[in-house]
Amino acid sequence: MKKLRSYQKVALRYANSQAHPALFMEMRLGKTLVTIRSIKCGGFSRILIVGPYSVFGSWLDELESERESKNGIVILDSSGPIRSQLLEDSWDSGNKWFLLSKEGHLVVPEICKFPWDCVVLDESTFIKAPPGVSGRTKRFNVSKYYTEKFRDVSKRYILTGTPAPESSLNYYMQLRFLDASILKVDSYWKFRHTYFKRAGYKWVLSKKGSAMLTRKLAENCFFLKRSEVNLGGEKIYEVRKVKMCPQADKIYKTLEDEFILEVDNVEVDATIYKTTQYIWLRRLCGGMPDTDGFRFNHKVKEIYSLLISELQGQQVVIWCKFVDEIKALSKFLIKKKYRIGIIHGDVPQVERRAIQKKFQKGELDLIVGQPECYKYGTNLSASDTVIYFSTPDGSETRQQSEDRVIDTASQDASLIIDLVVEDSLEEDIIESLKLKESNEARIRRISQGIQRRRGYGNTI
């Protein structure tokens, strides 16, 4: 069994002293291990762990090191009827640890009816969205389900290193899962109305709200950053600006001005929707990849230049927004004899874990993938360099994907490189992410940038 570090012992004392702990510890500070030790101290016999599937590898490793495999560990990852039967059979067999993906309740909604001693929400920001915003999307139902269905469980934990990635409003649903009385308001909307004020397109804490929330978080949550325990190096950010070729630049300007995608003087498509225009512009910034590769190679040339010069011989993680960017870039790099792990939504979870292990062993040179797939609980610290061929949109995904290469045992700095097309919306996206703006504010910034480049100033 692992020996706890001093700060982990402090976290364990906190977790054991709280009816319902919130361990807000940054990546690889040991919140999974601390939680397992706390659960063992409490003598709980039936534990449900809910989170992104990508965190299960860390749980399995820690449970094995804690010699808990003898007590039975079950991953509930089969199809609906099979998963329900697996849950029932495993329960009857006396298994102790059950792992369920964060949308798993949609397949086995009866899981909330089992008499759990303990429920853990790992990467708990998956319940940050308020319920009732839209009944059409799964993610809003998730918040309501977990905050309402597990109130009678004797011990409830939430774990994440980024509890409020976009706004202090993100705390409400997570704290409500722990204990509805912590914030003393019975709805997300009342919480916002009482303790926040409007500042442009943002909701910001009022003076009253700041005092209240600071006090409640101090009373109920445990925060720990790597910098506070002198673990992990700093991040160094670098923006590499690239220019489009004249043909691509012409397509880009026509698309910005007229909402028309015109290639080789032929109108390929047209739209009246800004969201469609946004996606086309982003794909053009990436080089318009297709099955034959990239139509324009401005970013590909920059990637290859980095790999054969400053990053020669190093392992590197390359993140892309679109799957066809991943496929086209991987095809190019494989021809250059790089050993590559390819990660996107269609790659099975088992294969993703295998790729991660091979990368950590040095058997792969590069990982090229979508950051959402390795967003949580994945250690890629064999590399200390991340290149964003195209950055994700959300602040949380961006921050989590940067942290994948952090090595808590090293003080070496991690290098974060953004490839950004000059005079494009990518400059606005990067600026927005630096400021951790909301999606609404980000869209406004991008719209203003488009109009500024079109000569309309800053007005909308």
* Listed range (35-39, 240-244, 310-314, 410-414) with the worst mean pLDDT: 410-414
| Distance, C-alpha 299 to centroid of its chain | 24
Mean pLDDT of 80-87: 89
Domain edge (last residue) among 229, 255, 281: 229
Distance CA 81, CA 99 (A): 17
pLDDT at position 77: 84
Tell me, yes or no, whether 459 lies in a domain: no
User: What does the pLDDT look like over 396-443, one tens digit per residue?
Assistant: 889 889 999 988 777 788 999 999 999 999 999 998 888 877 777 778
Distance CA 221, CA 15 (A): 9
277 and 341 share a domain? yes
pLDDT of 391 above 80: yes
pLDDT classification of 135: cutoffs 50, 70, 90:
very low
What is the maximum alpha-carbon separation in the chain?
71
330 and 346 share a domain? yes
Number of domains in the chain: 2
**% pLDDT > 70, the chain:** 97
Residue entry with tokens 């400059």: 427
pLDDT classification of 94: cutoffs 50, 70, 90:
very high
Mean pLDDT of 303-311: 92
pLDDT at position 457: 52
pLDDT classification of 136: cutoffs 50, 70, 90:
very low
Amino acid at 161: G
pLDDT classification of 134: cutoffs 50, 70, 90:
very low
Tell me, yes or no, whether 458 lies in a domain: no
pLDDT classification of 128: cutoffs 50, 70, 90:
very high
Q: When comparing pLDDT for 179 and 291, which is higher? A: 179
Average pLDDT in the chain: 90
Domain edge (last residue) among 229, 256, 275: 229
Pick from 67, 71, 64, 140: which is nearest to 106 by CA?
Answer: 140
Tokens of 147: 């905050």
Q: CATH number, domain at 85?
A: 3.40.50.10810
pLDDT classification of 458: cutoffs 50, 70, 90:
very low
Who contacts 203 (Cβ-Cβ below 8 Å, separation ≥6)? 167, 169, 192, 196, 197
Classified as helix, coil or strand, 223 is strand
Mean pLDDT of 134-148: 69
Distance CA 71, CA 257 (A): 63
DSSP string, 316-344: EEEE-SSHHHHHHHHHHHHHTT--EEEE-
198 and 254 share a domain? no
Domain edge (last residue) among 178, 194, 229: 229
pLDDT at position 138: 45
pLDDT classification of 222: cutoffs 50, 70, 90:
very high
327 and 212 share a domain? no
pLDDT of 20 above 70: yes
* Listed range (7-11, 115-119, 305-309) with the worst mean pLDDT: 305-309
pLDDT at position 337: 96
Tell me, yes or no, whether 198 lies in a domain: yes
286 and 206 share a domain? no
Mean pLDDT of 103-117: 93
154 and 255 share a domain? no
pLDDT at position 148: 92
Eight-state DSSP code of residue 379 = -
Tell me, yes or no, whether 1 lies in a domain: no
Tell me, yes or no, whether 460 lies in a domain: no
pLDDT classification of 68: cutoffs 50, 70, 90:
very high
171 and 258 share a domain? no
Enter the pTM of the model: 0.75
pLDDT of 3 above 80: yes
Mean pLDDT of 265-290: 87
Host domain of residue 66: 6-229
168 and 277 share a domain? no
Mean pLDDT of 230-243: 86
Residue entry with tokens 């064999």: 382
Tell me, yes or no, whether 303 lies in a domain: yes
220 and 276 share a domain? no
pLDDT at position 140: 45
253 and 201 share a domain? no
pLDDT at position 347: 93
Q: CATH number, domain at 347?
A: 3.40.50.300
pLDDT of 137 above 80: no
pLDDT classification of 194: cutoffs 50, 70, 90:
very high
Who contacts 339 (Cβ-Cβ below 8 Å, separation ≥6)? 363, 364, 365, 366
